[in-house]
Structure 1
Amino acid sequence: MKLPVPDEKQFTAPAHNERVTSKIGLALAVTFTTCFVTGLISHLIQHPPSWFFWPSRPVGLYRVTQGLHVISGVASIPLLLAKLWSVYPKLFGRPLVRSLPHAVERLSILVLSGSAFFELTTGLLNVAQNYPWGFYFPQVHYAVAWLAIGSILVHVAVKLPIIRRALTRVTAEEEPPPAAGLSRRGFLLTTGLTTGVAVVATAGATVPFLRGVSGLAWKTSKGTQNLPVNRTAAAAGVTQSARAASWRLAVVTPRGTATFSLDELRALPQTTAELPIACVEGWSQSATWRGISLPTLLKATGAQPGTTVRVSSLERSGLYGSSVLPGEHTADELTLLALELNGEVLDIDHGFPCRIIAPNRPGVLQTKWVTKLEAL
């Protein structure tokens, strides 16, 4: 027996009202755009084109932008689900394609839904450091983000007349009669509360005063020396080379190559600074670091502060075995070749014998187990 296909007009619940859809869509546009812009900033910091500039101060700016990236992504998940619930009766509208703008709208919705689900799902798994796929997450996540934001712009452009009409204040005479089920206000309130709970439950990873109530906050209670660890020395394969008595730091400058033992580094003038580790997964935590400031080390070895420096790690197999410190960071006295963390000698999982800690940089660029600095 063939079941009848529902008609769009049969869905009369207040949750499917275009005013509800438009309000949730507006909130989703704000969170998704915030997520896109902050994610773009993170991508440009890690893969900077020649025109891009990222300052070393304020020291916690990346902590804010990447925290916003993850928080706005988490907020987008319940908003997207609510938006899809609100509009799903449109699937039963007939005819399927009424005009060219209608066809463009439907295509943009398909691309938008697919790319948004992909971005939010893979982003959430990245936060949990769970990678059940075979592709390189940053590149694919970045590419699909452009698909998502492009489809959002097309969708908004096509639906703008409906959005403007729906968001215009209606009079009591224009209000539809109440229908069975959750009211429009109730549906919006439930969506808002769900989004708020999701944000509060996770925001403690980057917002310190929320850690007591963020049941799903990750990383900040783990690690050694009161600081989380993303990649251990064992995982990097450096446990022996980092502890070897023969370890030396090579500093390559126009004057030549200078080498330092750990004792020689400890004999140089030391600087103490409180700086955050802010990771691309969204967690961040401040710590007290002590070591040699890069300007001091560069001057002592024949290079000028403000010179671009390539940093190489003992780690050979990882994607972040080297990084490049731009001039704005090598000129900053708070950029350290750190030897101590929170008043103790660096734990090997935090980069012993020395690591880079620079203000306003992603954690993946704070290279650990440093073996060479090269002025470019």
Structure 2
Amino acid sequence: MVRRSDRPLNEPALPAAPAGPAGRVRRLVTWLMEQPLPVPPERLRRGPFREGAFGPRSTRLTSQLGLLLGVAFGVCFVTGLLSHLIQHPPGWFWWPSRPVWLYRATQGVHVATGLASIPLLGAKLWSVYPRLFTWPPARTLLQAAERGGVAALVAGALFQLTSGVFNIARWYTPMPFFFTTGHYWVAWLTVGALLVHVSVQLPVVRDALGTRSEKRRTRLLDSPHPVRVGAEAGEADPGRRHVLLGAGIAAGLITVTTVGQTVRPLSRIAVLAPRRPTIGPQGLPVNKTALGAGVRESASDPAYTLTVTGPAGPVRLDLAALNALPQYTVVLPIACVEGWSASGTWTGVRLRDLVEMVGADPGRAHVLVESLQAGGHYGSSTVEPPLTADSFTLIALRLRGEVLHLDHGYPARLIAPNRPGVLQTKWVGRLTVREA
């Protein structure tokens, strides 16, 4: 006898749960997640939870804003991860020394897309916040978990953009944590929540972005008269178009009025940029002064010596000895994580020459560069072999033909191509060379 299934013919068969304990656990979890939750008493349905508290929102608008925001966050995450790996390189990571402007470009894009995301996130939250007050708040545990993921995504996005703006402005008082560490780990949590959210909402987004295009295509094919597609698309939902246009204009204005701290031709209209790349000692900005680093006395000491330690033993060089070595001049940018960058003409001793002086091969040498600064997160940095061997990597003694200003690292500082400003160690007192 043939048994008929009650399942409709067009409904795909669900995969059977595996047999054994694992299958029983899976079925139990699924059953628990789908159990209805108690509905809160109706008297609690007040304020934003009351019926009709908000006007309608366009699903298409929400999907379009989400797509734009997802692209911006994706670019931000990739460029931010790259910056973090350069500053804290794991053993497998490799970063080239050329082109010299590469980090300047990637970090400029990171900060620019982060700032442009602010109005996009604001418009996105405006388009979806009525859904945060649906009634009942959650019908099942599965829905409650999904809403919890959305809350984590929103909190992570707000944290990333807010802390990023504070870092750009160098305002660390509101952040009782080390910015780099907090920003890095919350970025992973935010991107994870974003991927989960996208996977859940993908069918809704596909329908929202595809339905109108399909309807418009059908009208064009069926209509006996020509249809102005642009007019139809705009007149169908003018509110959606206005929100998108406003968010786009705001993102563009923020970008144009800040990116000039990296893109020199736009510097005159960068009225919102916290840094002017031409303002500072010797025409370059300074993040940390000698006074702030506590090195004014030690850096100005006439008895200063640079100690270079390597396989052939230590070598101690005073300023006269450093100036007596062959001098080289390069043009390199200072590119800071806050998004600003500026080029300078630097003169000094090649790092590879100092490495060879202590009997090491520059192509295999890792150099620990230590500052006279006591403490701090960036009181030292390590120069990897690609940069050690590069002829553009200097222990600089002059900037634009003048002896280094104290705030720029006098008596000697590191300057290397394609490297974050926080790793261009100032007030260098010791070099420790080891071969890989």
Which residue of structure 1 aligns with residue 94 of structure 2?
53
Task: Please give the residue correspondences for 1:161-176 in structure 2 after superposition, counting only pairs within 5 Å.
Answer: 161-168=203-210, 169-172=213-216
Alpha-carbon contact 1:312-1:373 (below 8 Å) kept:
yes
Which residue of structure 2 aligns with residue 147 of structure 1?
189
Tell me how far apart the structure 2 counterparts of residues 122 and 229 of structure 1 sit (CA, whole Å).
Answer: 21
Which residue of structure 1 aligns with residue 21 of structure 2?
none
Could you state the TM-score of these two structures normalised by the residue count of structure 2? 0.81
CA RMSD of aligned residues (A): 2.2
Q: Offset at 1:122?
A: 0.6
Which of the pair has more CA radius of gyration? Answer: 2
Which residue of structure 1 aligns with residue 380 of structure 2?
322
Matched, 1:211 2:253: no
Alpha-carbon contact 1:101-1:158 (below 8 Å) kept:
no
Matched, 1:119 2:119: no
Could you state the TM-score of these two structures normalised by the residue count of structure 1? 0.94
1:318/1:176 Cα in 2 relative to 1: closer, same or farther (>3 Å)? closer
Which residue of structure 1 aligns with residue 286 of structure 2?
229
- Listed one character per residue, the Cα deviations across residues 189-215 of structure 1 (whole Å, up to 9, x for unaligned) are 111001111111111111111111110
Matched, 1:370 2:428: yes
Task: Please give the residue correspondences for 1:32-111 in structure 2 after superposition, counting only pairs within 5 Å.
Answer: 32-99=73-140, 102-111=143-152
Q: Which moved more, 1:86-95 or 1:156-165?
A: 86-95
Matched, 1:134 2:176: yes
Tell me how far apart the structure 2 counterparts of residues 170 and 329 of structure 1 sit (CA, whole Å).
Answer: 55
Which residue of structure 2 aligns with residue 280 of structure 1?
337
Tell me how far apart the structure 2 counterparts of residues 258 and 87 of structure 1 sit (CA, whole Å).
Answer: 65
Alpha-carbon contact 1:8-1:92 (below 8 Å) kept:
no
Q: Offset at 1:303?
A: 1.8
Task: Please give the residue correspondences for 1:177-192 in structure 2 after superposition, counting only pairs within 5 Å.
Answer: 183-192=239-248
Which residue of structure 2 aligns with residue 18 of structure 1?
59
- Listed one character per residue, the Cα deviations across residues 182-237 of structure 1 (whole Å, up to 9, x for unaligned) are 62111111110011111111111111111111101122243110100000001111
Identity of aligned residues (%): 51
Q: Offset at 1:90?
A: 1.1
Which residue of structure 1 aligns with residue 295 of structure 2?
238
Partner of 2:112: helix, strand, or coil? helix
Tell me how far apart the structure 2 counterparts of residues 65 and 179 of structure 1 sit (CA, whole Å).
Answer: 39
Which residue of structure 2 aligns with residue 197 of structure 1?
253
Q: Offset at 1:8?
A: 6.0
Name stretches of at least 5 consecutive residues in structure 1 with no aligned partner: none
Alpha-carbon contact 2:234-2:241 (below 8 Å) kept:
no
Tell me how far apart the structure 2 counterparts of residues 64 and 57 of structure 1 sit (CA, whole Å).
Answer: 12
Partner of 1:96: helix, strand, or coil? coil
Alpha-carbon contact 2:58-2:240 (below 8 Å) kept:
yes
Tell me how far apart the structure 1 counterparts of residues 90 and 178 of structure 2 sit (CA, whole Å).
Answer: 20
Q: Offset at 1:340?
A: 0.6
Which residue of structure 1 aligns with residue 202 of structure 2?
160
Name stretches of at least 5 consecutive residues in structure 2 with no aligned partner: 1-42, 220-231
Alpha-carbon contact 1:309-1:325 (below 8 Å) kept:
yes
Q: Offset at 1:6?
A: 3.7
> What amino acid maps onto 1:150 in structure 2?
G
> What amino acid maps onto 2:321 in structure 1?
E
Tell me how far apart the structure 2 counterparts of residues 259 and 364 of structure 1 sit (CA, whole Å).
Answer: 26
Q: How many residues were matched structurally?
A: 372
